[in-house]
Structure 1
Amino acid sequence: MALAPPTSLVFKVQRCKPELVAPAKPTPYEFKQLSDIDDQKGLRFQISTIHFYKHDFSILKEIRDPVKVIREALAQTLVFYYPFAGRLRKGPSRKLVIECTGEGVMFIEANANITLEQFGDLLFDVPNSGGILHCPLLLIQVTRLKCGGFIFAVRLNHTMSDAVGLVQFMMAMGEMACGACAPSILPVWQRHLLQARNPTQVTCTHHEYVDMASTVAVPIPLNDVISHRTIFFGSTEVSALRRCMPHHLKQCSTFELLTACLWRCRTIALQTNPQEEVRVLCAVNARDKFKPPLPNGYYGNVCAFGVALATAQKLCKNPLGYAVELLKKAKNNVTEEYLRSVIDLMIIKGRPHFSVVGSYLVSDVTRTRFGEVDFGWGKPFYGGPAREAIPGVSSFYIPSKNSKGENGIVVPISLPVQAMERFENQLDILLVEGPTSHL
């Protein structure tokens, strides 16, 4: 994968033939089972992140080749994270296992004759490399730029790790690139800790895995032209939304506030039937829910969806605080027992995909430390998701700065063109005029 500059720019990217980088030392040949959270159908896809680095002479006095440094660091890190160098296989009942073959991960060296400032959005891939089974579990591309900076991009098979686990791996690579002999946090597999109970028992309600009656056949009409926007929420915008809150909700979290706003505006923009149920799925990192806690260094998936549910009419006719209350309850519902119940449901229902019809999926990565991965060039001036997980259905909350240098959160949004116009109008109403009824 690589960044693609604006279409008006003439440039060249030279890519070397993809290679497999294997662990720097021999590693065990064995089979390792994924957890029953890891191999659910909804995680059987690829996630991409991208990191932009400048060559800062105040940090790096000598000229070093980022491709060479990162390739070597990757090989050293794979000695500890050797399951990443293996391949996924399918066992009985669709259970996924890693065959730790030591084959390696895919690595691409590239050069671009432009600077960081000239780049736009990401998009390069290696044909036939992105399958779930029998394919490399990681694809890494390092692109040198003529300004001395570089771009580090990763594509990960999501069944292996969530965002926290991926950052743990990349931080380990950064440490190895800076001369460490071993990661400061050693990886822990132990996926058996998140296996189903015997006997299985679904003790909670899981709206995220229940198909709701819907007047539409697909989340976003497939024949619509899709418009993409990245919306910045700084202190001014957050304060404007907070003024919409009643006194007892003034201290709600920024996540709850933004999610309520976006969910409401999106529902209005899609002109959802007022009687139709809509829901927002909040990806919650459940690591701190366990007692005793999961081992430090566990890098598997430990996320569950908190679900807020309402009819479109109630969501859009009520004040914004109504949605915030629903979101608070949804997040609080995600306990250790809730996650155990999800795990058991996976076995009982055959590892189902979460429902996307009538759903909006949000994932907050503002605290995931993507922006702290340092290979010796300092921290990236951007580090985070490269694209939406499910275009038109999902959004990430990513820490960033605007053109004035103000800290805030950027949120990528994709909607049909006309729906995007309605969405932006509704957002302006909330930010400027305050909430009103629409349905």
Structure 2
Amino acid sequence: MVTLYQKPLDHLLQDLKVTVHSSSMVIPCREIERKSMFLSNIDQVLTFDVQTVHFFSAQKDFPPRVIAEKIRDTLGKILVDYDFLGGRLKLKAETGRLEIDCNGSGAGFVEATSGYCLDEIGDLVYPNPAFAQLACSSDLDTFKRPDDYPPLCILQVTSFKCGGFALGFTTNHVTFDGFSFKLFLQNLAAIAADKPLAVIPCHDRQLLAARSPPRVVFPHPELLKLTTANPSVFETTEEDLVFEIFRLSSDDINSLKEKAKPPGGNSGGSVTSFKVVTAFIWRCKALSCDNATAERQSTVLYAVDIRRRLNPPLPESYAGNAVLSAYATENCTVLEKGPFWKIVESVAEGAKRITDEYARSAIDWGEVYKGFPQGDVLVSSWWKLGFDEVEYPWGKPRYSCPVVSHKKDIIVLFPDINHRGQDHDHDHHHHHHNRDAINVENKNGNGVNILVALPAMEMEKFETFFRRFLFG
């Protein structure tokens, strides 16, 4: 059983031969009411860009020219329903808070071609840094005005020689979390098919406003108060990193689930794929670092969707950031010697901890202090978000993935290409108790790919632990 992902046989293409033919602004197709949108304390610290690329095979009814016009037209329409997406960030001087000025300035739109066929650019699952050429950076001069923030959304359509194409989205994280972006894609697909919206988005971010006065009733060790002016989330040291992809098959995951069963076999239903994979990766990463002494404490963070955890619950259609960081902390002795079920339980407790009162306390913490989540392992999961399940008039994506940058403390989980056969379930309401955005069980039993970036010596240790804990 091979656990390292099979590297592409040839060298990764470093240049996709992308030529940009036009860059323009798309404004809402009809006039919208100008207003300011309040941003929650969760939104306030997520002002960085997220890029995703969605690959589509050629369709004879949708040649590249038709696709580009169709998507441009659809973007103009969806900017009416998502009026904030065509707005701009602005700093409100009297409060020092960011807001979105819903001013109809528009979203960026880029048309491009690649000199390759889709089948020539290599394994889509393998995160080629060159995929960044398929999504446009928001600091491009075309879209930058000296007196203004850049667009919150830029959509690049890149056609391949075969007629296949890629949609590359650059969205400021302030606009969406993973779950609301999936709903946005479903609405984009519906408008492109001349259908009504799949989901009416909820734009009321006051639902996550801090209480007055703020009541911080938990210690929140997962949050770090700011001491410097503008640090980035998970600032990384300047050192040479190697990156590898480790793969866990569905059989591997089932085997980990078996190991995660506590004595007596009663796991209380909390042994999910996501939790066992997170516990497994956490111990490998924590123990591979240079200062992994027996008593050293390690903290893992992962995102939990709070929509259903609040009382009353947020609407499923809430179109902002409704995620908080769950955390688990253990010393290296526990992480190395186990038992594994205890580590999984520790991870599970992280999500269980986030009740309505805890979530409100964390939001209020952001009112009292300025700060970011802190931990030495952040698991960023794209595994179960289901972007590749969205049905467009031209079909479902062949694959959807983030454009990844390699950061030492961030471990990225992403799915296999979904060989789903006849699975046509479009229901976006996952009726799972305690569902979080990254914890919906995959009906198709696919494995998971794990992107790890570490200094070479630490990577060797990581791989040793990976094999030991999986097969031992």
SS of the residue corresponding to residue 416 of structure 2 reads strand
| The one of 84, 93, 96 aligned to 1:94 | 96
Once the two structures are superposed, residues 334-357 of structure 1 have per-residue CA deviations (whole angstroms, 9 ceiling, x without a partner) of 11211111110001113x12224x
The match for 1:418 is 457
Distance 1:110 1:353, change over 3 A: same
Question: Conserved in 2, the CA contact under 8 Å of 1:85 and 1:102?
Answer: yes
Once the two structures are superposed, residues 167-213 of structure 1 have per-residue CA deviations (whole angstroms, 9 ceiling, x without a partner) of 21121111111112x413122211111001011101223111147xx
SS of the residue corresponding to residue 18 of structure 1 reads strand
Question: Conserved in 1, the CA contact under 8 Å of 2:107 and 2:151?
Answer: yes
Is 1:128 the counterpart of 2:139? The answer is yes
Distance 1:194 1:415, change over 3 A: same
SS of the residue corresponding to residue 167 of structure 1 reads helix
The match for 2:446 is 407
Distance 2:464 2:234 in 1: 21
SS of the residue corresponding to residue 265 of structure 1 reads helix
Distance 2:390 2:37 in 1: 28
The match for 2:278 is 259
Distance 1:37 1:9 in 2: 36
Distance 1:220 1:409 in 2: 26
Distance 2:235 2:315 in 1: 40
How much has 1:224 moved relative to structure 2? 2.4
Once the two structures are superposed, residues 29-66 of structure 1 have per-residue CA deviations (whole angstroms, 9 ceiling, x without a partner) of 11111122211x2x121111111111245xx5878622
How much has 1:103 moved relative to structure 2? 0.9
How much has 1:69 moved relative to structure 2? 1.3
How much has 1:310 moved relative to structure 2? 1.5
TM-score (norm 1): 0.87
Is 1:396 the counterpart of 2:412? The answer is yes
SS of the residue corresponding to residue 447 of structure 2 reads strand
Distance 1:224 1:402, change over 3 A: farther
Is 1:50 the counterpart of 2:69? The answer is no
Where do 1:142-291 residues align within 5 Å?
142-180=157-195, 182-210=196-224, 222-245=237-260, 246-247=262-263, 248=265, 252-274=271-293, 275-291=295-311
Question: Conserved in 2, the CA contact under 8 Å of 1:401 and 1:408?
Answer: no
The match for 1:338 is 358
Distance 1:8 1:123, change over 3 A: closer
Question: Conserved in 1, the CA contact under 8 Å of 2:325 and 2:373?
Answer: no
How much has 1:230 moved relative to structure 2? 2.2
The match for 1:309 is 329
The match for 1:373 is 390
Structure 1 residues without counterparts, runs of 5 or longer: 212-217, 435-439
Question: Conserved in 1, the CA contact under 8 Å of 2:138 and 2:154?
Answer: no
After TM superposition, the structure 1 stretch with the greater mean CA deviation from structure 2, 199-208 or 221-230, is: 221-230
Question: Conserved in 1, the CA contact under 8 Å of 2:64 and 2:159?
Answer: no
How much has 1:396 moved relative to structure 2? 3.3
The match for 1:428 is 467
After TM superposition, the structure 1 stretch with the greater mean CA deviation from structure 2, 390-399 or 278-287, is: 390-399
How much has 1:146 moved relative to structure 2? 1.1
The match for 1:76 is 77
Which residue identity lines up with residue 407 of structure 1 in the other structure?
Answer: N
| The one of 368, 372, 376 aligned to 1:353 | 372
Question: Conserved in 2, the CA contact under 8 Å of 1:220 and 1:416?
Answer: no
How much has 1:374 moved relative to structure 2? 3.1
Is 1:12 the counterpart of 2:17? The answer is yes
How much has 1:7 moved relative to structure 2? 5.1
Once the two structures are superposed, residues 400-421 of structure 1 have per-residue CA deviations (whole angstroms, 9 ceiling, x without a partner) of 1499x98222222211122112
Which residue identity lines up with residue 24 of structure 2 in the other structure?
Answer: E
Question: Conserved in 2, the CA contact under 8 Å of 1:401 and 1:409?
Answer: no
Aligned length: 414
Distance 1:50 1:63 in 2: 16
SS of the residue corresponding to residue 288 of structure 1 reads coil
TM-score (norm 2): 0.81
How much has 1:296 moved relative to structure 2? 4.2
Distance 1:8 1:191 in 2: 42
Distance 1:157 1:304 in 2: 17
Q: CA RMSD in A?
A: 2.8
Distance 1:144 1:401 in 2: 21
Distance 1:369 1:295, change over 3 A: same
Distance 1:286 1:150 in 2: 35
How much has 1:233 moved relative to structure 2? 1.6
Which residue identity lines up with residue 17 of structure 2 in the other structure?
Answer: K
Which residue identity lines up with residue 370 of structure 1 in the other structure?
Answer: F
Question: Conserved in 1, the CA contact under 8 Å of 2:24 and 2:109?
Answer: yes
Once the two structures are superposed, residues 75-101 of structure 1 have per-residue CA deviations (whole angstroms, 9 ceiling, x without a partner) of 111111111101000113431111111
Which residue identity lines up with residue 296 of structure 2 in the other structure?
Answer: E
The match for 1:37 is 42
Distance 1:127 1:331 in 2: 34
Distance 1:256 1:140, change over 3 A: same
Which residue identity lines up with residue 361 of structure 1 in the other structure?
Answer: L
Question: Conserved in 2, the CA contact under 8 Å of 1:161 and 1:301?
Answer: yes
Question: Conserved in 1, the CA contact under 8 Å of 2:381 and 2:414?
Answer: yes
Distance 2:448 2:150 in 1: 34
How much has 1:376 moved relative to structure 2? 1.5
Distance 1:183 1:21 in 2: 20
SS of the residue corresponding to residue 159 of structure 2 reads strand
Which residue identity lines up with residue 219 of structure 2 in the other structure?
Answer: T
Question: Conserved in 2, the CA contact under 8 Å of 1:6 and 1:118?
Answer: no
Question: Conserved in 2, the CA contact under 8 Å of 1:49 and 1:386?
Answer: yes
